[in-house]
Amino acid sequence: MPNRELFFSAMSLLQVRISDGAVRISDTIPTFGAKKSLQALASFLLSVQTMRRLFLIGLLFLIPLNALHARVPEIHEVQQMALRESGYDRFELDQWKRRAKWSAALPRLQVGMDRDIKDVLKLTTRDNVSVTDSQVFVGPDENNFDQDFQQGIGVEVKAVWYLNELLFNQDQIDVSRERRSWLEDRTRLLEKVTRLYFAWKKEQRKELREELAGYLDGFTNGWFSEEVRGQ
């Protein structure tokens, strides 16, 4: 009888179950010799399975632990990280727009100061003349010198509303101009990161892959290589 038919005939007489390292053989075997042979066969099968498990465990020790967690980040993850590290935050730009819109509703304070200095000089001269029967006497002059120094400081504070800016606000125009410039810079950054990412995925040479990964690390503050290495 061929070996294949002999094997299936033996297995039909023996119920062999291998689970969790246990081998169970039914007691319905007619002869002790056949039962012993089938026990040897089951032990062999168990040893093969055990060797396979040990081989897989050995591979786990050979593979670095960080390689188990290594992965290639998706393009949208790399883009978001590059935007975050570069400071292109849309929320911040929206805050500028809201502040410019409501700034026209707030009054503008105007503070003024006026300083007044007056220096008044007054000179009075009197001649003394005395007349008698025989002589005329001219006495010394009488001089009065008066000086008046005055100084005053005035402070003025005003709150002025420019209601026309509720409809046309120059600050909103400046924010819109800044927004266009911000979007252009943001788009250029995404284009650079996207080109570098797909060039890195296509490149097979190790040196060039490391160079491209270095550029991506520059945009992501080292995050890209850490994700690839699984750290």
- Alpha-carbon gap, residue 46 to 20, rounded angstroms: 10
pLDDT of 13 higher than 60: no
Q: Which among 185, 55, 167 is positioned nearest to 104, based on CA atoms?
A: 167
CB 213 within 8 A of CB 200: yes
Using pLDDT thresholds of 50, 70 and 90, give the confidence band for residue 180.
confident
**Confidence (pTM):** 0.47
Using pLDDT thresholds of 50, 70 and 90, give the confidence band for residue 85.
very high
- Alpha-carbon gap, residue 179 to 97, rounded angstroms: 9
For the chain, domain boundaries: 3-63, 75-229
Highest mean pLDDT among 34-43, 74-83, 138-147, 150-159: 74-83
User: In the prediction, which pLDDT does 29 show?
Assistant: 44
**What's the start-to-end Cα distance of the chain, in Å?**
59
